């Protein structure tokens, strides 16, 4: 794998990537504004999926808390947008809650650069802190997963409870412009779409670089045998913290783009169900393959936007069944199914379990 020779297979894959990127960049030429906006939203979700795949598919850490990181990024951007929309006045919901002046932590968000930086830094730091206090003590597996889910609950409760500072249940909405450009104009939307495409490609290249590097190999070693990796001399906690933080940062980036496209963020968009749906994107597309995760996010959201409005009840049944089927029958997702046609299957997980206990 390390030999960078251009085998025919590699060439096909490279051509595939080139065609896909070209198609993404030229999408505004043949798509309606409405469709383009939807696609832009899905591409933002694909960035989250990449981050999730990094920790789940490659490191074996399942986080059900990525809604929070996504939400934090979104709120950071939304705070800037809200302040810009309000001009010199206080944001409307603060007035309703009886605040007379802007809280101190809202002040710096008047600057776009600060908001954009915080949108990535806040989730990354939160993940780093949570990771430090858990991975250091070898809290992992389901224990970690449950803690991330609890993080979702308390964050949502907090955001709803602190209505004066966060807009409560309604969240933040009613934006008008970004950097002085009106948000609703088609030109801005197109520009935002291209920015999202660039962000997605950048995230993809970053993740691909990470998983192909030595760092990525250690991640996989931790996934397959954490104790073995430790005995060889790596400190798994450091790698886990780092990759969790990167993943959270990517979710934050996606959240910022999401707010720019959709124009609203509310606590319900980072609650338990959206968070676990993010995991489903990765599971369906194929964990452990970056392209699978991204495609899973785009296709599943496309299916959702097509079906969930016309058949909301059937959609929930479908979603639940999809979870069960993918986990039981297709642990490697759609890409895994595709790959199985060509390559012999890896040895099942049962064998790994047995050898684990023998360590």
Partner 1 sequence: MLPFLKSWKVLCLFDRKAYTQQVHKRGEFMELIIGQLFNGMSVSSILLLIALGLAITFGLMNVINMAHGELIMIGAYSTYLTQNLFIDYLPSSMFNWYFVLAIPASFLIAFAIGLILEFSLIRFLYGRPLDSLLATWGVALMLQQLARTIFGAPNVGVKSPTWLDGGWMLMQGVVLPYKRLFIIGLVIVTLFAMYLYIYRSHAGRRMRAVMQNREMAACLGISTRRVDATTFAIGSGIAGIAGCALTLMGPIGPALGTYYIVDAFMVVVLGGVGKLVGTIIGALGIGLTNTLFEFWTTASLGKVLVFLCIVAFLQWKPKGLVAMRTRSLD
Interface pattern 28-47 for partner 1 (x via CB under 8 A): --------------------
Closer of 279 and 297 to partner 1 (Cβ): 279
Interface pattern 324-343 for partner 1 (x via CB under 8 A): x--xx--x------------
| DSSP-based three-state secondary structure for 181 | strand
**Binding residue for partner 1 (CB under 8 A) from 24, 151, 290, 297?**
151
Per rule CB under 8 A, count of chain residues that contact partner 1:
49
Q: Hey, what long-range contacts does 109-116 have (CB within 8 A, 24 or more apart)?
A: 109/76, 109/79, 109/80, 109/83, 110/80, 110/83, 110/84, 111/80, 112/80, 112/178, 112/179, 114/80, 115/76, 115/77, 115/79, 115/80, 116/76, 116/77, 116/80, 116/256
Question: Residues 222 to 251: which contact partner 1 by CB under 8 A?
Answer: 227
Interface pattern 271-300 for partner 1 (x via CB under 8 A): -x---x--xx--x-----------------
Q: Please report which helix (H) or strand (E) contains residue 132, including its range.
A: helix 112-135
State the pairing for strand pair 264-265/172-173.
Answer: antiparallel
Q: CB burial class (10 A; 0-12, 13-18, 19+) of residue 71?
A: buried
Q: Is 215 in the site for partner 1 (CB under 8 A)?
A: no
Interface pattern 56-75 for partner 1 (x via CB under 8 A): ------x-------------
Q: Is 316 in the site for partner 1 (CB under 8 A)?
A: yes
Q: Please report which helix (H) or strand (E) contains residue 265, including its range.
A: strand 264-265
Strand partners, 221: none
Shortest separation between residue 121's beta carbon and partner 1, angstroms: 21
**Binding residue for partner 1 (CB under 8 A) from 160, 229, 253, 334?**
160
Handedness of CA 73, 74, 76, 77 (dihedral sign): positive
> 244 near 134, Cβ under 8 Å?
no
**Binding residue for partner 1 (CB under 8 A) from 26, 111, 157, 235?**
157
Of the ranges 10-18, 174-182, 292-300, 347-355, which one interacts with partner 1 (CB under 8 A)?
A: 347-355
Q: Calculate Rg over the CA atoms of the chain.
A: 21
**Binding residue for partner 1 (CB under 8 A) from 104, 310, 313, 343?**
313
| DSSP-based three-state secondary structure for 284 | helix
Could you list the residues that contact partner 1 (CB under 8 A)?
62, 130, 133-134, 137-139, 141-143, 145-147, 149-151, 153-154, 157-158, 160-162, 169, 227, 268, 272, 276, 279-280, 283, 313, 316-317, 319-324, 327-328, 331, 349-350, 353, 356-357, 359
């Amino acid at each position: 794998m390390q030999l960078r020779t251009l085998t025919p297979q590699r060439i096909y894959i490279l051509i595939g990537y080139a065609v896909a990127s070209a198609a993404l960049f030229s999408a505004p030429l043949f798509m309606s504004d409405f469709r383009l906006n939807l696609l832009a939203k899905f591409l933002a979700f694909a960035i989250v999926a990449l981050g999730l795949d990094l920790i789940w598919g490659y490191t074996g850490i399942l986080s059900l808390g990525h809604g929070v990181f996504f939400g934090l990024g979104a709120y950071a951007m939304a705070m800037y947008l809200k302040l810009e929309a309000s001009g010199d006045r206080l944001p409307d919901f603060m007035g309703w809650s009886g605040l007379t002046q802007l809280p101190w932590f809202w002040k710096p968000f008047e600057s776009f650069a600060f908001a954009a930086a915080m949108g990535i830094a806040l989730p990354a730091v939160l993940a780093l802190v949570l990771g430090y206090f858990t991975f250091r003590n070898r809290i992992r597996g389901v224990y970690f997963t449950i803690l991330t889910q609890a993080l979702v609950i308390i964050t949502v409760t907090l955001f709803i409870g602190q209505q004066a500072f966060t807009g409560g249940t309604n969240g933040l909405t009613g934006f008008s412009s970004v950097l002085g450009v009106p948000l609703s104009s088609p030109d801005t939307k197109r520009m935002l779409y291209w920015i999202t495409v660039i962000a997605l490609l950048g995230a993809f290249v970053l993740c691909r670089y990470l998983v192909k590097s030595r760092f990525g190999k250690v991640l996989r070693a931790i996934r397959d045998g954490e104790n073995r990796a430790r005995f060889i001399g790596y400190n798994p906690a450091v790698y886990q913290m780092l990759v969790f933080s990167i993943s959270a940062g990517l979710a934050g980036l996606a959240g910022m783009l999401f707010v720019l496209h959709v124009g609203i963020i509310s606590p319900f968009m980072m609650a338990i169900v959206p968070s676990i749906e993010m995991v489903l994107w990765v599971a369906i597309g194929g964990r452990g393959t970056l392209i699978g995760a991204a495609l899973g996010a785009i296709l599943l959201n496309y299916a959702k936007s097509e079906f969930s409005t016309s058949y909301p009840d059937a959609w929930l049944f479908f979603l639940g069944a999809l979870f069960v089927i993918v986990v039981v029958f297709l642990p490697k997702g759609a890409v895994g199914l595709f790959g199985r046609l060509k390559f012999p299957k890896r040895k099942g997980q049962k064998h790994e379990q047995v050898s684990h206990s023998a360590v």
